Amino acid sequence: MRLVLCILLLAVRSGQASETPKGWSDWLSEGLALNHSGSYSAATHAFREALAIAARSAVDDRQMVVLHNALAGAYAQAGQFAEAEAEYRCALALVEKAEGQGSRNYAFMLAQMAILPTQTGNRDDVIALLRQAIVVNERTGSLKNINVIRECLAQILRSEKRYQEEEPLLQDALADLVRSKAADPALMAAAFNNLALLRFDQERYQESVDLQLESIRVWETALGKEHPSLVAPLNNLATTYLTMARFDDAERTFERAINLCKKTLGEDHVDYAVILENYAVVLRKLGRKREAKKFQAQGQQIERASNRRNGVGSTISMTALRSDPALTLQQ
């Protein structure tokens, strides 16, 4: 089984108001609103406009970091991973120049870049830097930033099957969010989803289902039932049902994920490919081999096209699970 990325874009806001129509801060505000609504492609356009105007206006490096980071997150949500990496690298270069690699801001952006599917190979240096950032900033840093770093580090450790190291990070993140009186729903939903993935790896499937249902509940309460952020937990829930041989539940949940992904992210998004390939596994289990073949071929075609666009290898997913190599869970 494979996982689809649950990219965490922290909604950053400029504190400045534009004095001219459609200035860079206007485009930034528009992009943040579009990203919040799940219109990721439109958000990338707005953030690009903001960056272009800001560059001509000699905006300071701090604001340029905000803009590059926002654009990177929107690109990642839209499945444009190569573009996301390029924007994160621009932001990282500016932060390194101003604050050095030991700063919380550097770790925050590095963590988000490190979970992109374009990031492969030995990541021990990244793991060490993120661990250090958590220790240094755990008491004084922003809860949002620290938890983003924790969740991203947990995803990296999961990709290397270092589950014992992953679990305390996820437990700490969830505990802090539960204690918070104003927890960000995006972080709360991601925390439930990521802990569900760990429980899946541990073959604690009913616990995984319960956590996935809680992730879905948080997203639906915060953003409604038609937001693209629901695609990943729906796919994960359906995949877990399938592993438990609850084929009717799996089929129904995959169909909802397919329809939502098609409507909100589009048929060329890699998440759509992943869900189609997972759905094909359900159909084979139900004896509908002809339909399964069609959906699997369609998913593989979309995935190959996404790989070519992003310059990655034969698989988009960072994590391949043990139980069935044909299936993919979504991070």
Whether residue 12 has pLDDT greater than 60: no
Span 207-212, average pLDDT: 97
Q: Which residue has the higher pLDDT, 202 or 11?
A: 202
* 15-19, 245-249, 311-315: segment of lowest average pLDDT: 15-19
Q: What is the pLDDT of residue 331?
A: 59
Q: How many CB atoms lie within 10 A of CB 81?
A: 26
Three-state secondary structure string covering 270-304: HHHHHHHHHHHHHHHHCCCHHHHHHHHHHHHHHHH
> In this predicted structure, what is the pLDDT of residue 318?
26
Tens-place pLDDT, residues 99-139: 998 888 899 999 999 999 888 777 888 999 999 988 887 77
DSSP-derived letter for residue 31 is H
**Confidence check: pLDDT of 319 > 90:** no
Question: 28 is written with which tokens?
Answer: 């930034």
When pLDDT is averaged across residues 88-107 and rounded to a whole number, the result is: 92
- For helices 289-310 and 270-285, the axis angle rounded to 10 degrees is 160
- Average pLDDT rounded to a whole number, residues 56-60: 89
Look at residue 118 in the predicted model and tell me its pLDDT: 84
In the prediction, which pLDDT does 22 show?
84
Model-level pTM?
0.84
User: Per residue in 172-192, pLDDT tens?
Assistant: 999 999 888 777 898 999 999
Structure tokens at 173: 């993140």
Phi, psi dihedrals of residue 2, rounded to the nearest 5°: -120, 165
**What would the mean pLDDT of 195-217 be, rounded to a whole number?**
96
The rounded percent of the chain whose pLDDT value lies above 70 is 87
pLDDT of residue 328 exceeding 80, the answer is no
For residue 2, list its beta bridge partners.
Answer: 320
pLDDT for res 183: 78
| pLDDT tens, position by position, 213-265 | 999 999 999 999 999 999 999 999 999 999 999 999 999 999 999 999 999 99
Q: Is the pLDDT of residue 5 over 50?
A: no
Whether the per-residue pLDDT at 31 is higher than 90: the answer is yes
Share above pLDDT 90 across residues of the chain, in percent, rounded to a whole number: 69
Upper half-sphere CA count for residue 247 (Cβ side, 13 Å):
9
- Tell me what the pLDDT averaged over the chain comes to: 86
Q: Minimum mean pLDDT among 167-176, 177-186, 322-331: which range? A: 322-331
Which of 213, 198, 216 minimizes the C-alpha distance to 151? Answer: 198
> Could you give all domains of the chain from N- to C-terminal order, each with its CATH number?
224-331 (1.25.40.10)
Residue-wise pLDDT for 144-160, tens only, equals 888 899 999 999 999 88
Structure tokens at 259: 């329809």
Is residue 63 within 8 Å of residue 105, measured between CB atoms?
no
